[in-house]
């Protein structure tokens, strides 16, 4: 079942099976996005849980004539913003583990590169981090990112460009 079909059925039903299906389909996506925005495993897990609580609470208000994915991203970004407002400064990314290694040396290098990129993301201002995560990492079109973040396409392009420059500068210090 596609996300939009499941969302349509969810908006029209009281059956929790449809909601569970949406959760199973998208819990990893929501968690990954939250981890990239928050930079902390524990906060990302809490945020993902909060996202699905909010979706369940407000699923009847979903406009079934619109795609579901942007709404899911919007709720995820809003929960992450709320989390960031409750805590400052951004926590360390020490709890992020690299993927299982094929070879130990390659795995260490990949893990180090990943940690540096996540550290660079963590140092970005909130709006730039959200724009670059949604646009460059999640691969959403600029227009969709603008709708999710409630800004113009020009602002998203500007924030993404600034974020890329800052990430490059941060990573050059390690080369």
pLDDT tens-place string over residues 122-136: 899 999 999 999 999
CA dihedral 33, 36, 38, 44 (to 10 degrees): 50
- Residue 4: CB atoms within 10 Å: 13
pLDDT of residue 1: 46
For the cut 70, the answer to whether the pLDDT of residue 96 exceeds it is: no
At 151, give phi and psi (nearest 5°). Answer: -135, 180
Q: How far apart are CA 113 and CA 19, in angstroms?
A: 37
Sorted by where each begins, the domain ranges of the chain are 1-91, 103-175
- Where would I find the H helices in the chain? 3-12, 16-38, 41-58, 68-86, 104-123, 126-132, 142-149, 153-172
Q: What is the CATH number of domain 103-175?
A: 1.10.10.10
Q: Is the pTM of this model over 0.75?
A: no
Q: What is the CATH number of domain 1-91?
A: 1.10.1740.10
For the cut 60, the answer to whether the pLDDT of residue 15 exceeds it is: yes
Q: How far apart are CA 175 and CA 171, in angstroms?
A: 7
Average the pLDDT over each of 7-11, 88-92, 167-171 and give the range with the smallest value.
Answer: 88-92
Tell me the pLDDT tens digit for each residue of 111-123.
777 788 888 898 9
Tell me the pLDDT tens digit for each residue of 28-64.
999 999 999 998 899 999 999 999 988 888 877 777 7
Backbone dihedral region for residue 37 (phi beyond 0: left; psi -120 to 50: alpha; all else: beta): alpha
| Distance between first and last Cα of the chain | 45
């Amino acid at each position: 079942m596609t996300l939009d079909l499941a969302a349509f059925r969810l908006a029209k039903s009281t059956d929790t099976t449809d909601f569970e299906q949406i959760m199973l389909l998208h819990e990893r996506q929501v968690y990954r996005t939250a981890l990239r925005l928050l930079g902390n495993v524990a906060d990302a897990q809490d945020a993902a849980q909060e996202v699905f609580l909010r979706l369940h609470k407000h699923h009847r208000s979903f406009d079934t004539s619109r795609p579901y994915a942007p709404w899911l991203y919007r709720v995820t970004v809003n929960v992450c913003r709320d989390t960031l407002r409750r805590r400052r400064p951004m926590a360390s990314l020490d709890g992020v583990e690299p993927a299982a290694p094929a070879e130990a040396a390659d795995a260490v290098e990949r893990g180090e590169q990943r940690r540096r990129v996540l550290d660079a993301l963590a140092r970005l201002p909130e709006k730039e981090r959200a724009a670059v995560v949604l646009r460059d990492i999640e691969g959403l079109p600029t227009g969709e990112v603008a709708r999710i973040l409630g800004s113009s396409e020009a602002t998203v392009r500007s924030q993404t460009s600034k974020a890329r420059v800052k990430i490059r500068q941060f990573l050059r210090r390690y080369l």
